[in-house]
Amino acid sequence: MTLEVFSDLSERLNYNRPDLPLYVRKGSLRLFDRYAAAYHWHPDVEFILILDGDMEYFVNGQTVRLETGEGIFVNSKRLHYGFSSTQTDCTFLVVAIHPLLLGESTLAGKTYLEQKFGSLTDNFLLLQPRTLWQREILDSIRQLYEEVYAGGENLFRWMSQATHLCACVAEHLKQTPEQEADEHAWMIIRAMTRHIHSNYEEKISIDEIAAAGSVCRSKCCSLFKKHLGQTPNNYLIQYRIQKSCEMLKESDRSVGEIAMACGFQTASYFSMVFRKHMGFSPQHFRR
Predicted local confidence at residue 211, as pLDDT: 95
Point out the domain boundary residue: 118, 142, 175. 175
Q: Is the pLDDT of residue 74 over 50?
A: yes
What would the mean pLDDT of 203-225 be, rounded to a whole number? Answer: 94
Question: How many structural domains compose the chain?
Answer: 2
What would the mean pLDDT of 269-283 be, rounded to a whole number? Answer: 88
CA distance 255 to 283: 8
70 with 163, same domain?
A: yes
Range of the domain at 129: 3-175
Q: Is the pLDDT of residue 3 over 60?
A: no
202 with 170, same domain?
A: no
The domain that contains 282 carries what CATH number?
Answer: 1.10.10.60
Point out the domain boundary residue: 175, 205, 235. 175
Q: Cβ distance 102 to 163 under 8 Å?
A: yes
Q: Cβ distance 26 to 91 under 8 Å?
A: yes
115 with 150, same domain?
A: yes
Q: Is the pLDDT of residue 90 over 80?
A: yes
80 with 112, same domain?
A: yes
Q: Is the pLDDT of residue 2 over 70?
A: no
124 with 151, same domain?
A: yes
Q: How far apart are the first and last CA of the chain?
A: 36
Give Cα 111 to chain centroid, integer Å. Answer: 24
What would the mean pLDDT of 99-120 be, rounded to a whole number? Answer: 91
Residue 117: other Cβ atoms inside 10 A: 22
Q: Cβ distance 63 to 57 under 8 Å?
A: yes
161 with 256, same domain?
A: no
Nearest to 147 by CA among 135, 161, 133: 161
Q: Is the pLDDT of residue 11 over 80?
A: no
Q: Cβ distance 96 to 58 under 8 Å?
A: no
Predicted local confidence at residue 4, as pLDDT: 31
- Report the predicted TM-score, pTM, of the whole model to 2 decimal places: 0.78
7 with 136, same domain?
A: yes
pLDDT in tens, 139-187: 999 999 999 998 878 899 999 999 999 999 999 999 887 666 677 888 8
Question: How many residues in total does the chain contain?
Answer: 287
Point out the domain boundary residue: 160, 175, 190. 175
Predicted local confidence at residue 64, as pLDDT: 96
Q: Cβ distance 275 to 281 under 8 Å?
A: yes
72 with 141, same domain?
A: yes
pLDDT in tens, 42-55: 999 999 999 999 99
pLDDT in tens, 218-263: 999 999 998 888 899 999 998 999 889 889 888 889 999 999 999 9
84 with 121, same domain?
A: yes
